Amino acid sequence: MSASPPVTVAVLNQKGGVGKTTVTLGLTSAARAAGDRVLVVDADPQGSATWSLGAPTDDPDHDLGRVLDANRNGAAGPAVVPSAWGPLVDVIPAGPTLAAREHDHARRHPEQRLRRALTGVEGYRFVLVDCPPSLGLTTTTALTAADLALLVVEPGAYANRGVAAVLDLIDEVWDRHNRALDIGGVIVNRLPARSHEADARVDELAGIVGRRAVWQPPVPQRVIVNEALGEGRPIHDYRSRARDLIEAFDRLYARLRRAAGRARSADRNEDRP
Ligand SMILES: Nc1ncnc2c1ncn2[C@@H]1O[C@H](COP(=O)(O)OP(=O)(O)OP(=O)(O)O)[C@@H](O)[C@H]1O
Ligand SMILES: [Mg+2]
């Protein structure tokens, strides 16, 4: 168990169905296989991550919406539940009140609430926040709490057009709410085998965000992803049937650990007088 506070990662894209939950859970599966503890925060009212991790989606005492309502330092702690993936993976479920919060702009500094809630939450290497498919208040709240932003994109022309808006939001949150926020990188999900069109789109994406920002390898398109989400099992459980997916998520998780190390040392340097 790590003694330093966890690194918080917002997994985001405003587009639905690109694989935010798949990547959140794939990285969680890789962390678990590496023996690292992870807290998954389900910030999407659809509750897919909660459901796939075998946690309740209808328990008012374990509900991210309530945690945000509480607006207290450390409010996240009591909302944590164990997952069905074993002792290394815990969850803060997306519960019944989360959906109502998206339009809660009337309150003061609503975007600070997850950051406050996670204060003092310890014992995890990472807190992974699975964001909803929008760039609204909930995603802003996740970015305000995050050390790293991780974009998930599908290789496609429309997808690339949407990336600029996500980068703008990250800049805005950095500027207004969170100077510790770093763009971790971009994960390309659902890469079809041998597609010139997809390869061209990945090149185009690298032109937008910079080649180094596009993490390697892309996550391949495989039906077993759907099976794992539906059965609520970590991808690493499928062993030889999911070999290339497991290898991809292991490499992406190794990259995440390196990015987290860099974000931490940059923070320390910034804190120096
Ligand atoms: N690499 C992949 N190969 C095959 N299917 C995939 C892959 N990634 C995601 N999918 C499928 O695409 C669908 C959407 O994926 P997922 O739920 O992870 O996206 P999302 O961005 O979290 O969606 P939402 O915006 O609704 O939260 C799921 O049915 C999932 O099984
Ligand atoms: Mg999702």
Lowest-pLDDT choice from 96-100, 155-159, 247-251: 155-159
Residues with CB under 5 A from ligand 2 (ion): 20-21, 48
Q: Which residue has the tokens 């039906």?
A: 223
Q: What is each CA distance from 253 to 62, 69, 241, in whole angstroms?
A: 27, 32, 20
Cross-strand pairs, 225? none
- Per-residue pLDDT of 215-265, as tens digits, reads 999 999 999 999 999 999 999 999 999 999 999 999 999 999 999 998 777
The answer to whether residue 272 scores a pLDDT higher than 50 is: no
3-class secondary structure per residue, the chain:
CCCCCCEEEEEECCCCCCCHHHHHHHHHHHHHHCCCCEEEEECCCCCHHHHHCCCCCCCCCCCHHHHHHHCCCCCCHHHCEEECCEEEEEEECCCCCCHHHHHCCCCCCHHHHHHHHHCCCCCCCEEEEECCCCCCHHHHHHHHHCCEEEEEECCCHHHHHHHHHHHHHHHHHHHHCCCCCEEEEEEEEEECCCCHHHHHHHHHHHHHHCHHHECCCCEECCHHHHHHHHHCCCHHHHHHHHHHHHHHHHHHHHHHHHHHHHHHHHHHHHHCC
Tokens matching residue 183: 């763009």
Residue type, 48: S
CB of residue 236 inside a 6 A radius of ligand 1: no
What gap in Å lies between CA 240 and CA 160, rounded to an integer?
33
The answer to whether residue 194 scores a pLDDT higher than 80 is: yes
Tokens matching residue 6: 């966890």
269 pLDDT tier (thresholds 50, 70, 90): low
CB of residue 189 inside a 6 A radius of ligand 1: yes
Relative to the alpha carbon of 151, which ligand is closest? 1
Tokens matching residue 253: 């998780």
- Mutation to probe ligand 1, out of 13, 50, 226 (largest number of atoms < 8 A from CB): 226
Relative to the alpha carbon of 42, which ligand is closest? 2
- Per-residue pLDDT of 19-53, as tens digits, reads 999 999 999 999 999 999 999 999 999 999 999 99
Relative to the alpha carbon of 49, which ligand is closest? 2
| pLDDT score, position 107 | 73
**Confidence (pTM):** 0.96
Domain annotation for the chain: domains and CATH numbers: 7-271 (3.40.50.300)
What gap in Å lies between CA 162 and CA 119, rounded to an integer?
32
Asked if 185 and 213 touch (Cβ cutoff 8 Å), the reply is yes
- Is the Cα dihedral 19, 25, 27, 29 positive or negative? negative
- Mutation to probe ligand 1, out of 14, 15, 22 (largest number of atoms < 8 A from CB): 22
Tokens matching residue 255: 């990259």
Half-sphere exposure of 21 (CA within 13 A, CB side): 23
Tokens matching residue 76: 């996240």
